[in-house]
Chain A
Amino acid sequence: MTTEERVMSLFESANPVPEPGNSAPETASDYLATLDRRTSTMTLTALEPKAPERNNSKRPWLMAAAAVAALALVVGGLALLSPDQDEERPADVPEVTTRVEPDPAAVAAAFVSAIDSHDHDNAQLLLADDATIQMLGSTDVAEFEQLLAHLEAVDARYDLTECTYAEPAVTCRALYTNAWFDPLDEPATTATFFVRVEDGQVTALRQAQKLPDRVWLTWSSFVRDRGEGDWGAMAKGHPDGMGIIGPMLTDESIELHRQYTTEFVEARSDG
């Protein structure tokens, strides 16, 4: 038996609940009766029926729209991480290659400081900045992973734990998620950092996956129609209407976005 087989055998035998048993502590009916008393962390609940309605054809639209709105809320974050999302390219194919110069200490310090002070908007800016990518690339593998873990720890929107090691490259995937997502919805955006250390040269790459078209449709329509105020400024700040989305992540802005998306979907349905 190889070590790997032995380890897997040990792992399998360490199953803490080898036999799940057959009896439920309460019946389905009992469970359903308790639903009213349970508090859900899902903010979309208010948009949903108390119980599913099979023949309600409009509500799924609204649910989808709300999910799209939530997706769109983090588009800005992706925009920061991905400078050119309109081009479709295979997953895991790096988009930009940047030779990294050493000594980005100032950016690194600002980045960590921004995270520590929960200044996520600034942290995102810094994260999107090439200098920060250089900073990330210039650190060693342990520091790089530590930095990503630090970001994850202070901001629940990030899930940056997936780092894989295939010498000499390190790949870390940064998943954006949102607390108000339905658990079955996909993470809104995926940005992947690649850091390669080879022959003393450090190369940082980054790549982001393309979002579904419907997200872009909703988002671009949104910024086109409401080109005023802070959101308008954000829209104008980017040729594709993309901007910094951090300031939008408030209850008020989320509600506005929901409201708009509902109107958008209804108008589209009527049309």
Chain B
Amino acid sequence: MTLNAKCIEEDDSCSNEVRFERLYDRHHARVTAYCRRRVPADQVEDLVAETFMVAWRRIDDVPDGEGGLPWLYRVAYREVGHQWRSGSRRQRLHNKLVAVPALASPTPEDSAVDVEQTRRVLAAASRLNHRDAEVLRLLSWEHLSRAEIAEVLDIEPNAVNQRVHRARTNLTKEFNRLERRHPDRTPAAKKGGMS
């Protein structure tokens, strides 16, 4: 019987290696996706590696089961923050601008208006402070619960509701501001547009 087979339940009988392997296999794809949503493609691999390196170093602290994912997100969140802080503001802005078109690459079935508005909403999100933007990403892209968001951001659950409300409001404001500044010029937009 292998060690993995013996260690069916995630408890102290599992070796660190086994616990880490399970953590890695279970969450690697999601952590990679998390990173791809936040940094340019050429930085994703390093970011994921750094995140799991922290997990390996601190495997005793990593919650077992599904609780490991918010823990990893929290590490990745901090790592992303370190990356941002280590570069100049100009570079970060550049990274954002580089990332946005890649994020919003249209599919053939997208209408011109939707593409434009998608780009605009991403541009609006890039104008939020990074904490507001992060809470929206965790909510809408990672589909985390309020409690999980609180764990990732290390804030009180009540504060999550407040921050989500603020972030949504600010995103809408920024979106409207951009729309006023650069109204759609597509025929469809002239007919309809946002209410």
A interface vs B, CB < 8 Å? 1-4, 6-8, 10-17, 20-24, 27-29, 31-32, 34-35, 38, 40-41, 45, 48, 51-52, 54, 149, 152-153, 156, 159, 161-164, 177, 179, 182-184, 186
Q: Which residue of B lies closest to A155 (CB)?
A: B85
Would you call B57 and A48 a contact (CB within 8 A)? yes
In the bound complex, residues from chain A placing their C-beta under 8 Å from that of B33 are 17, 20-21
User: Min CB distance, B191 to chain A, in Å?
Assistant: 16
**Majority secondary structure of chain B interface residues (helix, strand, loop or mixed):** helix
| 18 A-B pairs (CB sep. < 8 Å) | A4-B172, A7-B171, A16-B37, A16-B102, A22-B29, A24-B24, A24-B28, A24-B29, A31-B49, A31-B52, A51-B16, A54-B16, A152-B85, A161-B130, A183-B75, A183-B78, A184-B54, A184-B74
- Chain B 15-32 near chain A by CB (<8 Å), digits 1 or 0: 011001101110011101
Q: Which residue of B lies closest to A145 (CB)?
A: B129
In the bound complex, residues from chain A placing their C-beta under 8 Å from that of B122 are 11, 14
B9 on the A face (CB < 8 A): no
Would you call B154 and A186 a contact (CB within 8 A)? yes
Q: Which residue of B lies closest to A60 (CB)?
A: B60
**Which residue of A149, A164, A182 contacts B89 across the interface (Cβ within 8 Å)?**
A149
User: Min CB distance, B41 to chain A, in Å?
Assistant: 10
Would you call A183 and B172 a contact (CB within 8 A)? no
In the bound complex, residues from chain A placing their C-beta under 8 Å from that of B82 are 41, 179, 183
Q: Which residue of A lies closest to B17 (CB)?
A: A32
Would you call B172 and A153 a contact (CB within 8 A)? no
In the bound complex, residues from chain A placing their C-beta under 8 Å from that of B20 are 28, 32
Given contacts A16-B103, A32-B56, A184-B61, could you give 17 more A-B pairs where the C-beta distance is less than 8 Å?
Answer: A2-B195, A3-B195, A8-B136, A12-B140, A15-B140, A20-B29, A23-B29, A24-B28, A28-B21, A38-B53, A52-B16, A52-B56, A52-B58, A153-B89, A183-B79, A183-B82, A184-B54
User: Min CB distance, B67 to chain A, in Å?
Assistant: 15
**Which residue of B29, B86, B131 contacts A21 across the interface (Cβ within 8 Å)?**
B29
B145 on the A face (CB < 8 A): no
| Cα(A164)–Cα(B163), bound, Å | 11
Would you call B118 and A14 a contact (CB within 8 A)? yes
Would you call A13 and B60 a contact (CB within 8 A)? no
User: Given A4-B168, A31-B52, A52-B56, are A156 and B21 also a contact pair (CB < 8 Å)?
Assistant: no
B117 on the A face (CB < 8 A): yes
| Cα(A151)–Cα(B177), bound, Å | 27
User: Min CB distance, B65 to chain A, in Å?
Assistant: 16
Query: Taking each of A31, A40, A186, which has the highest tally of chain B beta carbons within 10 Å of its own beta carbon?
Result: A31
Q: Which residue of B lies closest to A152 (CB)?
A: B89
B144 on the A face (CB < 8 A): no
B150 on the A face (CB < 8 A): no
User: Min CB distance, B118 to chain A, in Å?
Assistant: 5
Would you call A156 and B86 a contact (CB within 8 A)? yes
Q: Which residue of A lies closest to B91 (CB)?
A: A153
- Chain B 142-160 near chain A by CB (<8 Å), digits 1 or 0: 0000000000001000000
B10 on the A face (CB < 8 A): no
In the bound complex, residues from chain A placing their C-beta under 8 Å from that of B96 are none
In the bound complex, residues from chain B placing their C-beta under 8 Å from that of A32 are 17, 20, 56
Query: Taking each of B52, B56, B86, which has the highest tally of chain A beta carbons within 10 Å of its own beta carbon?
Result: B56
User: Min CB distance, B18 to chain A, in Å?
Assistant: 9
| Cα(A29)–Cα(B175), bound, Å | 45
| Cα(A17)–Cα(B32), bound, Å | 10
In the bound complex, residues from chain B placing their C-beta under 8 Å from that of A162 are 129, 131
Q: Which residue of A lies closest to B21 (CB)?
A: A28
Would you call A182 and B54 a contact (CB within 8 A)? yes
User: Min CB distance, A49 to chain B, in Å?
Assistant: 8
| Cα(A7)–Cα(B122), bound, Å | 10
**Which residue of B56, B59, B85, B121 contacts A11 across the interface (Cβ within 8 Å)?**
B121
Q: Which residue of B lies closest to A2 (CB)?
A: B195
